[in-house]
Every structure is written in structure tokens, then in C-alpha cells.
Amino acid sequence: MANPASTAPGSTAHKEPQGTQSEFTRADGWLTRTDMLSRSIYWGIHAASLLVFVVGAPLEAVLLCVATYSIRVFGITGVYHRYFSHKGYKTSRVFQFVLAFIGTMATQKGPLWWASTHRRHHRYSDQEGDPHSPVRDGFWYAHQGWIFDDKWGGTNMEGIRDYAKYPELVWLNQNHMVGPITLAVICYLVAGFPGLVWGYALSTTLLWHATYSINSLAHKFGTRRYETKDDSRNNWFLALITFGEGWHNNHHYYMASARNGFRWWEYDFTYYILRALAAVGLVWDLREPPRSVVYPTQEEDLPKAA
Ligand SMILES: [Zn+2]
Ligand SMILES: [Zn+2]
């Protein structure tokens, strides 16, 4: 496999100012300031998901789990990641807020915190300053420990100035628990207590570990098409459960793209959803990787004509 370059062409998409801890603010709400409460909620939701063994498996509750998992995987991958972190496509200001609200329902704090932290991950990937590197800090910390580390608790507004100029997003970033609470209430109204257990608790636990595995496992296990400066990998299983994010080596090489599955067989459900939204005019200008990136060695890697 070719090693087309040692630098990522998409990496110039964002110029995050040199971030220091002093630049981090507390503009991301009360929950972040109460670390023990955050931990209690996190592990409490894990424990609550075990109630599936008590409430059984009513069909509407199981279907609700599938729906809330799918919508919120997209909320992280298609919204927090490919839109707010990397500007992989464009949308209107109104739909931007709708998307951001869907993102908050994933219970991974606010869009400005998430995206500014993620941009930092790309800036310092697997180096000093990366919030979550399994290479440097081990699996547990990279998977979920860093979330409770006060070092990364605040939102680096300087790193997300392009979206911090919208007051409604700053509000949502500060009040990010409105989304999860709204979703929990909807689950209860739709399918009662089993709906709450399946549609929120179990779904959220699965969602957390699927998306967090990109930070941990996708920097350890899988193949590398591109010689990036980090240890990112392409992993087909992670791509399946995270709707395309498992093509993480592709992503680290060309992060500005709206699609992470570069080849036709690299399934990327997030991208398919974005294409559907584009077809009805809700989003537009989806950014694609250039052919020279997708097929770096040209002739020998091009698909054979039938
Ligand atoms: Zn990464
Ligand atoms: Zn990224």
C-alpha cells in the first residue's frame, strides 16, 4: 500500500490557536464544574441500563433503542464531528441549531466543547497535548478517563471561534443537558418505563462506548493506508457500529471530508445520511476527498475495468 505523504492535506482546514490551559474557559455549564456529579450520572446510566433484565424487552422499547442509538450516532459523527469540528458541509443557521440539539442528546456535552476538544486531538494527535491518546495514556484514559479530567473540562472558545459567534450555540453549549433530558422524557412518553431504560439508558451506554472506541481502539487496532503522524487505524467493525467513523486513518489523513469511507466498499452510513439531507436541500456543499487522496498510487490502485 502506498505511503502518499507524511502530512495530511486536510489538516490545514482549521488553524486552532496555540492552546494552553489558561485559554480554557468555563463556558460549558454547571455539569462540568461538578465532577463527582458527572461521574455519578455517567455510571448511574450504565447501572440503569441493566434494568433491561427487569423490565423485559417490549418491542416498542427495543425499536426505540435502535432509533435513539442511530439518531445520536449521527448526532456525534455527522454533526459534532464532521460539521462542527471539521466543517465538512454547510447548512442554514436554523438547521445548524437543530443539528446541534440532536448532538446534545448524545450526552457528550455541548457542541463547542466537543468540537474544540476534537480539533485539539487532531492538532496534537498521539503527542503531548492530545486529550485522548491510547498510545500515550493507555486505553482506559483515552476511552473515557479523560472526560472526567479537569484538564479538559472547559471549552476552549478560541479553538471554536467560527461557531462561538452564534449566541444560540453558546447557550446550548452551556445548557447541554436540555437535550438528554428532553430525549429521556420523550422515551418515557413513547414507551413508559421500559422505553426510558431501553431508549435512553441502554442506548446511551452503547452509544458512549461505540463513539469512545474511536478515541481508544481506532488508534490501536486496524490497518493504516496513510502514513499519518499519529497512530490512527481503519477498522471495519468500528466503522459499522459508528456509522463510518471507523475509517479513522482515512479521516486523520484528510479530515475536511464529509465522508470517511473513501473507497466504494468502505461503508459510511453517516455520509449516506448527509447525502439524503443534501438531496432535500437541508445541507449542501459536502466536501469530498480528491481522487489523488482516494487512489494515492493511481494506476495500480485504480479499480480494474470490467
Ligand atoms: Zn483520532
Ligand atoms: Zn476528526
Tell me the pLDDT of the chain (306 aa) as tens digits: 333 333 344 443 334 444 444 455 444 554 555 578 888 899 999 999 999 999 999 999 999 999 999 999 999 999 999 999 999 999 999 999 999 999 999 999 999 999 999 999 999 998 888 999 998 889 999 999 888 888 888 899 999 999 999 999 999 999 999 999 999 999 999 999 999 999 999 999 999 999 999 999 999 999 999 999 999 999 999 999 999 999 999 999 999 999 999 999 999 999 999 999 999 999 999 999 999 899 877 544 544 443
Nearest Cα to 104, choosing from 214, 28, 8? 28
Query: In angstroms, what is the span from residue 121 Cα to ligand 1's centroid?
Result: 7
Query: In angstroms, what is the span from residue 86 Cα to ligand 2's centroid?
Result: 7
Give the CA distances from residue 236 to residues 30, 229, 240, in Å, rounded to whole numbers and listed in that order: 38, 21, 6
Ligand nearest to the CA of 81: 2
Query: In angstroms, what is the span from residue 57 Cα to ligand 1's centroid?
Result: 36
Query: In angstroms, what is the span from residue 81 Cα to ligand 2's centroid?
Result: 6
Alpha-carbon distance of 205 to 282, in angstroms, equals 30
One-letter identity of residue 47: A
Domain boundaries, the chain: 22-301
Partners of 283 in the β-ladder = 91
The beta-carbon contacts of 228-231 under 8 Å, at least 24 apart in sequence, are 228/6, 228/8, 228/125, 228/252, 228/253, 229/6, 229/7, 229/8, 229/125, 229/126, 229/127, 230/125, 230/126, 230/127, 231/125, 231/126, 231/135
Neighbouring CB atoms inside 10 A of 166's CB total 17
Query: In angstroms, what is the span from residue 246 Cα to ligand 1's centroid?
Result: 10
pTM assigned to the model: 0.87
pLDDT of residue 32: 54
Query: In angstroms, what is the span from residue 258 Cα to ligand 1's centroid?
Result: 16
Query: In angstroms, what is the span from residue 5 Cα to ligand 2's centroid?
Result: 19
pLDDT of residue 39: 87
Nearest Cα to 284, choosing from 129, 136, 87? 87
Give the list of residues 6+ apart from residue 34 with CB closer than 8 angstroms, or none. Answer: none
Query: In angstroms, what is the span from residue 123 Cα to ligand 2's centroid?
Result: 10
Ligand nearest to the CA of 14: 2
